[in-house]
Amino acid sequence: KQEVTQIPAALSVPEGENLVLNCSFTDSAIYNLQWFRQDPGKGLTSLLLIQSSQREQTSGRLNASLDKSSGRSTLYIAASQPGDSATYLCAVRDTGSNFGNEKLTFGTGTRLTIIP
Amino acid sequence: GAVVSQHPSRVICKSGTSVKIECRSLDFQATTMFWYRQFPKKSLMLMATSNEGSKATYEQGVEKDKFLINHASLTLSTLTVTSAHPEDSSFYICSARDRGWLGAPQHFGDGTRLSIL
């Protein structure tokens, strides 16, 4: 059974700093890994999707890496801003997921606070 | 970008009431939609996978008769919480995947906060 862990559960950093969020998963047979952002009381916004054959993806100030063999992914946020404050979730989709029944296993998230 | 609309955003109702939540893909067709439940400060747990034109696939431990799912078209799936009780109070989120390719990401709605009195 796939298990996804995110450490730390909460993180506070001053505005302008670069930071790294961590995600680890127990079963390396994944199809892809996705990073999401969730604002309080809201749904999820997809940030980056990394296919199993890829090692990283970039979007603006965000960079996500994937090391499938070690079961790890990181989300790097450059030059953090107060607007980046949110909960960040990673989710993995296993290769055992069949077409039309692809389950995402989510981590419990990291609650990020950027201090102005 | 792909947009998923979920309605209503918040529901407060009495115990015993049935509540219907809608999930629509606005600018793409979704053969498959997903329903998740999220408890406070917890992660999302998949409840069921909704497939257009066929029966939903429920995760272990999820009551099919309690959480009725209908996926009548390529852009709409509904979740009905039947005879809701306080323990059903939670945040429910749907997602949809573009039918175009298997590796497409899931796009999420804004969620529905359900409170049963």
Q: How confident is the model at residue B103 (pLDDT cuts 50, 70, 90)?
A: low
Which of A31, A42, A44 should be substituted to probe chain B, the one whose Cβ sees the most B Cβ atoms within 10 Å? Answer: A44
- If one compares B101 and A93, the residue with the highest pLDDT of the two is A93
A41 touches chain B (CB under 8 A): yes
**Cα angle value A101/B30/B114 (rounded, 5°):** 80
A61 touches chain B (CB under 8 A): no
The closest of B78, B86, B87, B98 to B35, measured between CA atoms, is B78
Per-residue pLDDT tens for A3-51?
Answer: 999 999 999 999 999 999 999 999 998 989 999 999 988 889 989 999 9
Residue A59, burial from CB neighbour count under 10 angstroms (0-12, 13-18, 19+): exposed
Distance in Å, alpha carbon of A23 to nearest chain B alpha carbon? 13
Alpha-carbon distance values, B48 to B1, B30, B65, B79, B115 (Å) = 25, 15, 12, 10, 21
Beta bridge partners of A114: A13
Q: How confident is the model at residue B53 (pLDDT cuts 50, 70, 90)?
A: confident
Query: What Rg, from alpha-carbon coordinates, does chain B have?
Result: 13
Residue B86 DSSP SS3:
helix
Per-residue pLDDT tens for B3-33?
Answer: 899 999 999 999 999 999 999 999 888 888 9
Per-residue pLDDT tens for A48-96?
Answer: 999 999 999 999 999 999 999 999 999 999 999 999 999 999 999 887 6
Q: What is the pLDDT of residue A97?
A: 56
What does A17-83 look like in DSSP terms, one character per residue? --EEEEEEES---EEEEEEEEE-TT--EEEEEEEETT-SEEEETTEEEEEETTTTEEEEEE-S--GG
Residue B66 DSSP SS3:
coil
Q: Which residue of B has its CA nearest to A52?
A: B103
Amino acid identity at A85: S
